[in-house]
Structure 1
Amino acid sequence: MSVSSPSRTIRIGSRKSQLALVQTHWVQAELQKHFPEITFEVEAISTQGDKILDVALAKIGDKGLFTKELEVGMLSRETDLAVHSLKDLPTNLPEGLMLGCITTRVNPADALVVNSKHQGQSLETLPEGAVIGTSSLRRLAQLRHHFPHLAFKDVRGNVNTRLAKLDAGEYDGIILAVAGLERLGMSDRIHQVIPPEISLHAVGQGALGIECREGDTEILEVIKVLEDIPTRDRTLAERAFLRELEGGCQVPIGVNTSIEGENLTLIGMVASLDGQTLIKDQMTGETAAAESLGQQLAHKLRQQGADAILAEIFAQIQRQ
């Protein structure tokens, strides 16, 4: 059946969380604008990551934690594509699936949200021992490195659940993605946008990745209308960097990318869990060689001691 067939229905897989559905419905609406003759339906699916809320992400691993069930749906042809926060999508995808489109990135930075008693405070001014909630070892390692006087505690759940725990006083502050808060219309909760000098963001943060079946030219033709080339180049460099270091959600790896003319600059970081050791470097190259740039920077960090840090982290996680 051709894309232009008036009877065509395309089914979009999404996680059930509020943020995931907001993102998926945005994709649905944008595709509907471009292809009014096609019916786009959203299929909400529960993933393992949405169900296990009482265990730290680092302890259960992350390979496909928020994507596996969506991928099964595509492979079984129950759905035709899936919308992910790109930072949740593993760098190695199951056989038969591919990353078909990357949408325009919004602000990829991390944000500090504080309890009302700390109104007006920043990470620099919070009192010693203030408890900061985060489920990301990347954020944890970098913040420990810069703010050793603060205390850190794991926090799980969707954005609303985390904010409720913060407001109830379980935490003095929590760290969330600026992009998620903005997409949920909660920009007013952001007290501090954390600069990259303090916290490099997660690979792919702020962008959406649309996954589909390999060789499904019909679906690829549809979703490619949403592709943003600069975001694609930046995030492909970031994902190649992460893939080369074999890191996932449970490894403190951070990045930052920028494009000037034909050149892309990638900053990458690997840190120990305690924040004591932090290796950071950068490389600039042509946007056309984005993935190669990511691989080269990973090798550069390995030569500076990243391997030893990663080996110790994997050993620590296995001992837990």
Structure 2
Amino acid sequence: MSNSPIRIGTRDSKLAMWQAHTVARLLRVQNIEVEIIPVKSQGDIDTTRPLHELGTTGVFTKVLDDALFNNEIDIAVHSLKDYPTQPPAGIVLSAHLEREDPMDLFIPKGDTSFLNDRESVSTIGTGSIRRVAQWLHHFPNHTTENLRGNVQTRLIKLKESNWSGIIMASAGLRRMELVPENAVALDWMIPAPAQGVVGITHREGDVIALDACKLLDVELSRITSTVERQFLRTLEGGCSAPIGALARVSGQKIFFVGTLHSLDGKSEVKVEDSANLEDWPTLGEKFALRAKQNGGDAILSTLK
């Protein structure tokens, strides 16, 4: 190892800093010196427009890619669900930390009886086209309004709004120790690919950074994240689409569910299957091609 500390690049939100400090702690346990370098991304600066209007691919991550290219940092820490499925040439995704709960939670403002009535009428806050599409598929008479910002900001916006509730990732709330007591688990909502996973990237050819990342890579996280992100990459084809994917490993089997919706939630294509764990490197693509054949191409053509 080099005598210089490994410079860890991160966004400067509280959750991103938590992730970076977690990586720093894990590296220090391995007797590796580190320093944390926070940067601000376009996605953090512009919190009013919906993410898909900013062009979701790389909106939170490009600034860290640039910092790697400019040799300002040695590794970059990401919420992997925000990171493009194809890293820029010269950058390698080399570590996947242990996954937190990958699911979404509904944070209600008050009464939740409407959640048992498919015909109910309510307004829900979320900035994710995936969550919007799945929610409207489940509750066709609801409306949604844009919700952006960090974990703390979103909880404040809920209090100040006239919404019935908001949808948030369980992982971020758990990491910030901010899961409200009245949170409702959305076991029917398929999460974003790699939701709950912290990923680490480094510059291609940087052996010291690679060696450090290898120490932190969790095989189970790598397998499930790769299957889910491959499903996304094969379907997406450069457009922002409401795509969910979740892979779970049990014994020597991998269980997968993936969804693609129209933006209004009216059309749904779902793939649910299992396979032998040893076949994981090609499963994401295989399931995505099946989704395309079963009506996914028709949905994707309306999105482009």
Scaled to the shorter chain, the TM-score interval is: over 0.9
Aligned to 1:318: none
Residue type at the aligned position of 1:47:
S
Distance 2:16 2:118 in 1: 32
1:1-320 paired onto structure 2 within 5 Å: 3=1, 5=2, 7-35=3-31, 38-115=32-109, 117-118=110-111, 121=113, 123-124=115-116, 128-189=120-181, 191-195=183-187, 198-246=188-236, 250-314=240-304
Q: Helix, strand or coil: the match of 2:100?
A: coil
Q: Helix, strand or coil: the match of 1:187?
A: coil
Measure how far apart 1:169 and its partner are: 2.7
Structure 1 pair 183–248 and aligned structure 2 pair: CA distance change class (3 A): farther
TM-score relative to the length of structure 2:
0.95
Measure how far apart 1:146 and its partner are: 0.9
Measure how far apart 1:306 and its partner are: 0.4
Q: What do the CA deviations read for 1:220-263 (whole angstroms, capped 9, x no partner)?
A: 11122221111111111011111111267931101121112222
Residue type at the aligned position of 1:167:
K
Of 24-33 and 286-295, deviating more is 286-295
Q: Is the 8 A contact 1:281 1:301 kept in 2?
A: yes
Q: What do the CA deviations read for 1:163-198 (whole angstroms, capped 9, x no partner)?
A: 111011342200000000000011235510110xx2
Residue type at the aligned position of 2:21:
H
Measure how far apart 1:312 and its partner are: 0.5
Gaps of 5+ in 1: 315-320
Q: Is the 8 A contact 1:62 1:249 kept in 2?
A: no
Of 219-228 and 87-96, deviating more is 219-228
Q: Is the 8 A contact 1:66 1:88 kept in 2?
A: yes
Q: Helix, strand or coil: the match of 1:188?
A: coil
Number of aligned positions between the proteins = 304
Distance 2:30 2:181 in 1: 34
RMSD: 1.8
Structure 1 pair 277–265 and aligned structure 2 pair: CA distance change class (3 A): same
Structure 1 pair 121–211 and aligned structure 2 pair: CA distance change class (3 A): farther
TM-score relative to the length of structure 1:
0.90
Residue type at the aligned position of 1:289:
D
Q: Is the 8 A contact 2:81 2:195 kept in 1?
A: yes
Gaps of 5+ in 2: none
Structure 1 pair 190–83 and aligned structure 2 pair: CA distance change class (3 A): farther
Residue type at the aligned position of 1:210:
I
Structure 1 pair 190–32 and aligned structure 2 pair: CA distance change class (3 A): farther
Q: Helix, strand or coil: the match of 2:77?
A: strand
Residue type at the aligned position of 1:181:
L
Structure 1 pair 150–248 and aligned structure 2 pair: CA distance change class (3 A): farther
Q: Percent identity?
A: 38
Q: Is the 8 A contact 1:62 1:248 kept in 2?
A: no
| Over 3 Å off, 4+ runs | 125-128, 247-250
Distance 1:108 1:247 in 2: 24
